[in-house]
Chains A and B, each alone.
Chain A
Amino acid sequence: MTGRTTRLAVDIGGTFTDLVLETPARSWSRKVLTTPEAPERAVLEGMRAIAAQAGVAPETIGLVVHGTTLATNALIERKGARTALLTTEGFRDSLEIAFEHRFEQYDLYMERPAPLVPRPLRLGVPERIAADGAVLLPLDEAALRATAAGLRALGGEQGIEAVAVCFLHSFTNDAHERRAGAILAEELPEAAISLSCEVAPEIREYERASTTVANAYVLPLMERYLGRLQHGLLAAGVAAPLLLMMSSGGITTVETARKFPVRLVESGPAGGAILARLVAAENGLDRVVAFDMGGTTAKLTLIDDLEFQRSRSFEVARAYRFVQGSGLPVRIPVIELVEIGAGGGSIARLDALGRIQVGPDSAGSVPGPACYGRGGTAPTVTDADAVLGRLDPARFAGGTLSLDPALAEAALADAIGPAMGGSVAGAAGIAEIVDETMASAARVHAVENGKDTAERTMIAFGGAAPLHAARLARKLGMRRVVVPVGAGVGSAHGFLRAPVGYEVVRSRHLALADLDPAALDVLFAGMREEAEAVVRLAAPDAPLVESRTGFMRYRGQGHEIAVALPPGALGADAAAVLHARFEAAYAALFGRVIPHLAVEALTWSLSLAVAQELPTPPPEPPPRAAPPPVARRTLHDPATGRADAAAVHERLSLPPGTRLAGPALVVEDETTTVVPAGATARINALGHIVLEFDA
């Protein structure tokens, strides 16, 4: 998908809406403030402004790729539709009982997040399907119609806009759910209906219901928004197709997005990961950690051989200090990433033992870090960065905001300094702790995926990442960091590199010992058909690539691992092939296989995407010396405790081939890259900054 036509990417975030416009000649970017009450307004305003800036008529835009946090925010803020949930009779509380778990073991006062559907709107329907798909109790259609009539009778503010249906074992036999969907469409023609057998046909009733309910809950809102956006774009002269970014890293049509809006959560980070993969290809890197650090969170993604780690589960709206288990589980295809409550705005404090704690709460943009001078008094990571000399007070965020380091010092001196021996030592402590927190999360994430972080290259983007990347990389045993061009609007850049694609998942519990290859082929053929129908809407003729995955385990285990399956139809030796692939994957993850043990598969997935050609690295430009620095600034290094006079360079004034030695700072509008002592930086042919460390 190289840019022959003019293409627009739009990423709506909590604070800013980022736009990137690519013309055949060059690329333009712009940030406008998000308009939460009508998000399409910022999109349309930004589109007009960026088109004018580029001298392009809206009519000539050939494609719009869009990602948004609207669905995520509706879930976090509980601002979705009034939704009812129909379950198998006897299971209406499954959604609220969840995992029967205290995610904070030692907290006597813990609360679980409220379910999206309150108990009076969770209703049981007489029906029952067994684990093997047999019907134990037929669907009571009369009872269902009576229940629907009861919902219809709720008018006004009580009116139901969406209904989720989740019956037990519907991923094995969906007949009751589909019949219920048809009856509800007759009885409640205005309501949006989401069936669990379509949204998340996977075993484990709570997670399936949670996903289906989340889908129903955001559906009316997203449908209205997408309708308004399409009309607005048309009215503004943009007749181009609109495609939506999904959490899986693929893009899809508005029609699919309207049906499965839950797949749109976390589309921003997916865009960032897509950009990182592109940068990895441009630099010939096969083992990469993408590191995205913004105001409130940091995200880390592993990319091996230009492939992401993929996952089918994700937790949205973590209510409780980002603690795992405090959010809503959704089972959707996602690019696997670990998200930590650590960003520039994260607040630092001392705990009862006098230890520095950073985050996960953030000062946000209001009041913001103390050095913003907007009333914030709690020291944040950005304040620590300011005190360490990493930020140019006059150049922060392209000069739109001037920083006051004295306020940062004062906040640190009050809250952290006395215990640590001064505000610089306190700032160094904050930087060390936040970097260690991210490093710990990265290590645990890597081990869970059977990977290691050492000897990788980090690709750093997002406003705060280039400030912390060098130290974090060293903590993770890495030798190299790449800070790409346009790091500040990385996600929107990524949208334009995402392939049209779709992923279909089905649960079908099979023991390899009695695997019927033909039946599995039939299952995959159905999945391919479903995926292709979606993909062809947006890409009618392009060549497609398909990948198949089985989620397998030793019989008796509770956690499956993803096993890549051979393409195409399975032969008579399918069981042996699958067994060998499972053992190879298991050994890679856990270091050993267990002999004589039966292997089974629970879930199968098929992903279909437009074939993409990734770039190859251009030749390295001849080395050249750096121009004289524009300034020198005192830079404190938390790793060594030393203070050095660091050379300050403007990124735009460094041509390809430039070599720099640390300590140095490379500044640009959206961020600053810290080059610590002992590191060198070079500008490669594409303008990326490449940091390398001495062994």
Chain B
Amino acid sequence: MSAAVSDIALQVMWNRLLSVVEEQARTLVRTAFSTSAREAGDISAGVFDLEGRMLAQAVTGTPGHVNSMARSVKHFIEAFPVATMRPGDHYITNDPWKGTGHLYDIVVTSPAFHEGKLVALFSCTTHVVDIGGIGQSPEGRQVFHEGLFIPLLPLAREGRLEEGLMRLIRANVREPVQVEGDIHALMACNDIGARRLSAMLAEHGIADLDALGAHIVARSRAGMAQAIAALPRGTWRNAMRIDGFGAPIDLVAAVTIAEDHILVDYEGSSPSSDRGINCPYCYTDAYTAFGIKALIGPAIPNNAGTLDSIVVRTPANSIVDAPWPAAVNARSTIGHMLPDVVYGALHQALPDRLPAEGTSNLWNLKLGAGHGITAGHTGRPFQVTTFHSGGAGARPRQDGLSATPFPSGVRNVPVEITETIAPVVIWKKEYRPDSGGPGTHRGGLGQMMEVTHRDPAGVFGLFATFERVVYPARGREGGLPGARGRVSLASGQELQGKGFQLVPAGERLVVEMPGGGGYGDPARRDPALVAADVEAGLVSQEQAAALYGAKR
């Protein structure tokens, strides 16, 4: 019986470790300043062993952070050997290639001690309000344009904050107090994790995480291997063309299901861009791993064991592996598309399991005004990002989710909050009829939003990073594509899907978000569902007649 009890004890401690990182993450959300963290939950938090292997992480808003942070701790350990770490130390970086893909994300890693002995590392990431440079624009040509680059550096030594570094940061960002507040929140969140871990070790009477860590990694790896073993072996290929910035981009993947791992090779994908939509390898790896894990092992906690089961290869100097000093601010433009690319390949191996393509890229409204941004600016300067989404792809047995992000897991920002913190008025935020890709199962609908300046004489700018404006989300198995996105002014002028553009005084910005692709032949959709969609105004009578074969 003792073997079984010790197995249960390990399981109990594993559950406890998951609750420790959950506490760590909640602390961060509640104390964060940037809307992306506090409203949308765009953060991550996890605990690592002394070799930098992630043992547990909180389930938070963004897989892109989570899986890339999982790899980042190894870089910290290389720069700051664990033997040199002292209680009260904290280390920081926003290196896009060693952190989570762009300068806005600050990673803080901190050693955790128990009875004087280093037992683990806690790491967490948040998206700060501002990082200087050209701000939230995708127009940068090199990472130098995009703001302050913080290499791997000590942030605090034995409890003493590196005041010089903090002064440097404050001097380089537009919202110094809030950014400093976010950095304090990151340290507080790791401190909470370390305290809880120490209590857990004391309660269970163990000195370190060695046995538990080995158990977690081995069990998870075995679980993934078991899930992978149940899949057919082989290599499947897929390509997806997306809008890009100025020129279309091809994302190409060969997905190989091997004995105990899955290999994704992006050979054939487009070269890197000279604008800020490049994706560093860490972020490519993160979203690829997320997409596969959601498919084959959704219930297995994420850790080094699960991540090792997914291997990602990228061509050098490509859009999915852009080297320093490429501009990377809007790297999610590419990263969020990768699960769709992988799913298109896997669908050939695993019919009836994968959703159709979705909007995938977030349709966040990044708006701003101020000196040098909006010519002749008067009034209150502002920069605001509100998180919103188009439609997701239809599933083999279900319609796609409307106005819901995938693969990102962020939440939206309420209209009343946006209007309270920025001088804008949102006149409309409603489903966009006929935008869901027709199919036996309909793609999710996008939404329409209309925005003006609060002041009729006010001018504001749009930092656009929208996808699926030219190339829509495709359907599967005879399902039709979702509607393309569209950005325009109410007076009629079309705007571009990418880049900074002005909304003149008295004008209204009109954003029509894309829909998800449909699944299966629309003529086979249950007529009762078509009729219900028409009654609800989600599908027009014209579309119902033309594409679903409904009688008028």
* Contact surface of A with B, Cβ cutoff 8 Å: 89-94, 96-97, 99-102, 105-112, 118-120, 128, 130-131, 136, 168-169, 203-206, 351-356, 420-422, 424-425, 428-429, 432-433, 436-437, 439-440, 443-444, 447-448, 454, 475, 477, 509, 554, 556-559, 589-592, 594, 596-597, 638, 641
Contacts and interface: CB of A to CB of B under 8 A. Distances in A.
Contacts of B294: 105-108
Interface residues of B, number: 93
Contact of A203 (B26, B414, B431): B414
B404 interface: yes
B447 A93 contact: yes
Interface string B405-425: 110011110111101100001
Contact of A596 (B38, B177, B397): B177
Interface stretch (B16-24, B100-108, B310-318, B459-467): B16-24
A91 B447 CA distance: 11
A439 B222 CA distance: 28
Nearest to A560: B30
Given A169-B416, A204-B414, A433-B11, A559 B406 contact: no
B30 A93 contact: no
A597 B181 CA distance: 9
B156 interface: no
Contact of A444 (B26, B31, B177, B180): B26
Contacts of B431: 93, 96-97, 119
A-B pairs with the 4 shortest C-beta distances? A558-B38, A90-B428, A440-B19, A421-B4
Contacts of B4: 420-422, 425, 429
A101 B427 contact: no
A432 B204 CA distance: 13
A120 B425 contact: no
A204 B8 CA distance: 44
Contacts of B16: 436, 439-440
A606 B59 CA distance: 36
A590 B184 CA distance: 10
B23 A106 contact: no
Interface in B415-471: 415-417, 419-420, 425, 427-431, 447, 450, 454
Contacts of B3: 421
B387 interface: yes
A206 B414 contact: yes
24 contacts: A91-B429, A93-B430, A97-B429, A100-B411, A101-B410, A102-B401, A102-B405, A109-B395, A111-B401, A119-B538, A120-B537, A168-B415, A204-B417, A353-B220, A355-B219, A440-B18, A443-B23, A447-B192, A556-B181, A557-B31, A557-B32, A558-B35, A559-B31, A592-B188
Nearest to A422: B1
A509 B175 CA distance: 21
Nearest to A598: B177
B430 A92 contact: yes
B414 A105 contact: no
B414 to A, nearest CB: 5
Given A107-B294, A108-B355, A100 B415 contact: no
B2 interface: yes
A549 B118 CA distance: 43
B299 A111 contact: no
A443 B409 CA distance: 25
Contacts of B430: 90-93
Main secondary structure of the interface of A (DSSP, over half): loop
Contacts of A591: 188, 191-192
B374 to A, nearest CB: 20
A475 B19 CA distance: 13
B297 to A, nearest CB: 8
B5 interface: yes
B379 to A, nearest CB: 14
Contact of B223 (A352, A554, A559, A594): A352
Nearest to A207: B414
B63 to A, nearest CB: 7
B389 interface: yes
B196 interface: yes
B235 interface: no
A443 B19 contact: yes
Contact of A101 (B33, B191, B398, B404): B404
Contacts of A110: 401
Given A93-B429, A447-B196, 11 more contacts: A91-B430, A94-B429, A105-B59, A108-B298, A108-B354, A130-B419, A131-B416, A351-B299, A353-B222, A556-B178, A558-B417
Given A203-B414, A421-B4, A436-B15, A120 B447 contact: no
B414 A447 contact: no
B226 interface: yes
B428 A120 contact: no
A352 B222 CA distance: 10
B39 A421 contact: no
Contact of A130 (B22, B355, B403, B454): B454
Interface string B515-552: 00000000000000000000111100000000000000
Interface of B: 1-5, 7-8, 11-12, 14-16, 18-19, 22-23, 26-27, 29-33, 35, 37-39, 59, 63, 129, 175, 177-178, 180-181, 184, 188, 191-192, 196, 199, 203, 219-220, 222-223, 226-227, 293-295, 297-300, 353-355, 387-389, 395, 397-398, 401-406, 409-412, 414-417, 419-420, 425, 427-431, 447, 450, 454, 535-538
B12 A436 contact: yes
B409 A557 contact: no
Given A91-B430, A432-B12, A590-B30, A130 B450 contact: no
Given A205-B416, A443-B19, A477-B199, A425 B5 contact: yes
Contacts of B412: 97, 99-101
Contact of A97 (B33, B403, B428): B403
Contacts of B8: 356, 420, 425, 428-429, 432-433, 638
A596 B16 CA distance: 37
Nearest to B396: A109
A108 B395 contact: yes
B419 A106 contact: no
Given A91-B430, A131-B420, A420-B7, A556 B1 contact: no
A553 to B, nearest CB: 9
B293 to A, nearest CB: 7
Nearest to A94: B429
B509 to A, nearest CB: 14
Nearest to B538: A119
B24 to A, nearest CB: 9
B338 to A, nearest CB: 15
Nearest to B176: A596
A107 to B, nearest CB: 6
Contacts of B37: 558
Contacts of A475: 203
A163 B188 CA distance: 46
Contacts of A596: 177
A100 B39 contact: no
A204 B417 CA distance: 7
B398 A111 contact: yes
Given A353-B300, A556-B175, A421 B1 contact: yes
A673 B545 CA distance: 67
Nearest to B226: A352
A168 B298 CA distance: 38
Nearest to B7: A420
A440 B19 CA distance: 6
Nearest to B129: A556
Given A203-B414, A429-B8, A556-B129, A641 B33 contact: no
A4 to B, nearest CB: 46
B175 A444 contact: no
A424 to B, nearest CB: 8
A637 B501 CA distance: 68
B416 A203 contact: yes
A15 to B, nearest CB: 30
A433 B177 CA distance: 44
